[in-house]
A and B are shown apart, each in its own frame.
Chain A
Amino acid sequence: MNDLRELLQDADPIRHESSTFLEPRETQRRSLLAAASSGEGRAGAIATRRSRAAFFVVVVSITILALFLGNRLWSPRIQDVHAAVRFEVRLAEDKPGPRLREAKISGTDRSIYLHEEVVVTNSDISAARLIHVGDAYAVGIEFNKAGAKKMREATGEHIGKPVAILLDGQVVMAPVLRSPVNSSAEITDGFTKNEAEKVVKGIVGKT
């Protein structure tokens, strides 16, 4: 009786079709890039869904903005208090220093040293969304104009150093900056769907 591995290797189509996938590769590449940029062909339906999603996001953003402005006009300075999840971004260092506060990164034994100044908070966020990444979930954050300006200025001179993202005072992640952050950021810290949804609603929502 043959070994199962031998059977699989014998049946492996890659062995029998070894070059058939190379020919259409360029065609696929072109159609993929075209689809990604213009939404033609097979990606048409996806692009249509993206357009609808974009429209939905615009409507939701306007609604959130209206709620936000209404809230600010009615009771200014209490936005951060009303957010269910307190969001902060702070610059950080790997080594202790004057005016730096030590903090543990959640779920690790690693410490970083936070700057006193908060770069952005909930009030600098225009939208947050749930992102499905493989089996995990992430939270995408869009900064408003003022928030993007603060992030750009603060992170532009902090390349190669960590930046801490805090949820409710806990450092949930501290990635090293590779480039200045401008209008958006993502928190992909192995959230479950419920956790990610809670963070999304909490960051921009009200209790």
Chain B
Amino acid sequence: MNDLSCSRAVRISDVRDAAERLGVLFDTHYDRLYRLARRLTSSADDAKDLVQDTFLKAARFPRSIPIGARDEEAWLVRVMINTRRDEWRKTSTRNRHDLRAFSASPWEPGERSAEAALIARTTVWQALDTLSPRRRAVVVMHELEGLAVPAIASLLGVSAITVRWHLSMGKRDLTHTLKPRKGDRK
């Protein structure tokens, strides 16, 4: 018998022990969520706060969480991205750095000092702040987590075309932001 609860993300049930389930959710998904959160934020502290806020929302709406590890993960990831989006909207202006202020271009070839490498890494990571959280999530899932487009689409609940579009635009924006400009010091 097909379980429609999984295939259509619907369910009808009583959640008898929400705290216990929350604990299981935390144990099952914390590491995965933290890694994504860290890649969506500028600092480890921001990532921890984002994960905590995500689980707190799960605690507030225990009956909204679908059953099954994959559906749970998708639900938590979407909540996390939406939470991050709210935060990003508030701080995006402040966080849109003038990347030209950094003296080490991330594109610069050859050997670099440790300091220059650190600045280059920071420059790249700050460039990600210019992307919306959803676009950023698509980029990091594809480029850093190695997920295929259909898997990302399934996780985010959007079409593969949408994922490809976000991926293409995200990479274009990042390349544009990080591209050495006239007057930048090499």
Contacts and interface: CB of A to CB of B under 8 A. Distances in A.
Interface of A: 1-2, 4-5, 7-14, 16-17, 20-21, 24-25, 28-29, 31-33, 35-37, 42-43, 46, 50, 94, 108, 131, 133-136, 138, 140, 160, 162-163, 165, 173-190
A28 B23 CA distance: 11
Contacts of A179: 13-14
A21 B35 CA distance: 9
B38 A17 contact: yes
B13 A181 contact: yes
B18 to A, nearest CB: 7
A186 B63 contact: yes
B56 A134 contact: no
A1 B39 contact: no
Q: Classify the interface of chain B: helix, strand, loop or mixed.
A: helix
20 contacts: A1-B109, A4-B175, A4-B178, A8-B140, A9-B143, A9-B144, A17-B38, A21-B44, A28-B48, A29-B30, A33-B23, A35-B59, A36-B18, A134-B157, A135-B157, A165-B12, A173-B12, A177-B12, A186-B10, A189-B10
Q: Classify the interface of chain A: helix, strand, loop or mixed.
A: mixed
Interface of B: 1-5, 8-14, 18-19, 22-23, 26-27, 30-31, 34-35, 38-39, 44, 47-48, 51-52, 55-56, 59-61, 63-64, 66-67, 75, 78-79, 82, 106-107, 109, 120-122, 124-125, 128, 139-140, 143-144, 157, 171, 174-175, 178
Contacts of A9: 143-144
A188 B9 contact: yes
A35 B18 CA distance: 13
A32 B22 contact: yes
A24 B30 CA distance: 11
